[in-house]
Amino acid sequence: MEKSSLLIQFPEQKLTLLIQDSLKLVLMGKMNFEAKIELVQREDLSEAEQELLAASQEILKDAYAPYSKYKVGAAVQLKSGIILKSSNQENVSFPVGICAEQSLLAFAGANYPKDAPRMLAISAQREGDEVFAKVSPCGMCRQAILEFENRFEHPIQLLIQYPDGQVVRIDGIQNLLPLSLGDLSL
């Protein structure tokens, strides 16, 4: 056994764990996770927040979602003030489809590699509906957002349109992604 390793055996479970120094494991302990998620009225948002939310709602109309009929729009404000928009783009081979957030962030990262995303708004609407549908970024999108926070070393504020004029405001993806994978030095 290497000096930096620790071997733990659980005979009853017939389990042996080799734990390396660099592996941050919390054994037999508790981890408490506190998330700061606010529910606010749309009219209480700042002008910049309202503008970004409106941009996500404008772009969702052009979403390509013939299979789910659930149109999602995302808009990001970069540090420079530039606003970019995108929507979900589905595929007849379902896993090939891409979420609004991921298509947006990929474009932002490729075209504005030095301009940090600061605020991301997300809205959804079912085809034929007038009202907004509830939406929440999927697991893969949360991971994609985390990568951008880490890449630019800055949290991204999320604004999610909810029905009845309510908006969920979240100060950084860590609030939606406990115990996240942020680097490979585990």
The residues carrying an active-site annotation are 101
Judged by CB under 6 A, the stretch of 16-24, 50-58, 130-138, 164-172 that binds ligand THU is 130-138
Pairing of strands 37-41, 15-20: unpaired
Residues 10-49 that bind ligand THU (CB under 6 A): none
**Which listed residue (53, 90, 144, 146) binds ligand THU by CB under 6 A?**
90
171: nearest Cα among 160, 163, 182 = 160
Contact between 145 and ligand THU per CB under 6 A: no
**Which listed residue (19, 97, 126, 168) binds ligand THU by CB under 6 A?**
97
Q: How far apart are CA 79 and CA 83, in angstroms?
A: 9
Distance between the two ends of the chain, CA-based, in angstroms? Answer: 19
Contact between 137 and ligand THU per CB under 6 A: yes
Contact between 68 and ligand THU per CB under 6 A: yes
DSSP-assigned letters across all residues of 114-183: TS-EEEEEEEEEETT-SSPBP----HHHHHHHHHHHHHHTS--EEEEE-STTEEEEEESGGGG-TT----
**Which listed residue (101, 148, 156, 167) binds ligand THU by CB under 6 A?**
101
Size of the residue set binding ligand THU (CB under 6 A): 15
Contact between 138 and ligand THU per CB under 6 A: yes
Judged by CB under 6 A, the stretch of 20-28, 49-57, 98-106, 171-179 that binds ligand THU is 98-106
Contact between 141 and ligand THU per CB under 6 A: yes
Judged by CB under 6 A, the stretch of 92-100, 106-114, 125-133, 171-179 that binds ligand THU is 92-100
Could you give the angle at the alpha carbon of 183 between the alpha carbons of 178 and 186, nearest 5°? Answer: 85
Cβ atoms < 10 Å from Cβ of 96 = 9
State the number of CA atoms in the 13 A half-sphere of 11 facing the CB: 0
Judged by CB under 6 A, the stretch of 14-22, 32-40, 132-140, 169-177 that binds ligand THU is 132-140
CA-based R_g, the chain, Å: 20
> Which residues in this chain contact ligand THU in the complex, by CB under 6 A?
65, 68, 70, 72, 88, 90, 97, 99-101, 122, 135, 137-138, 141
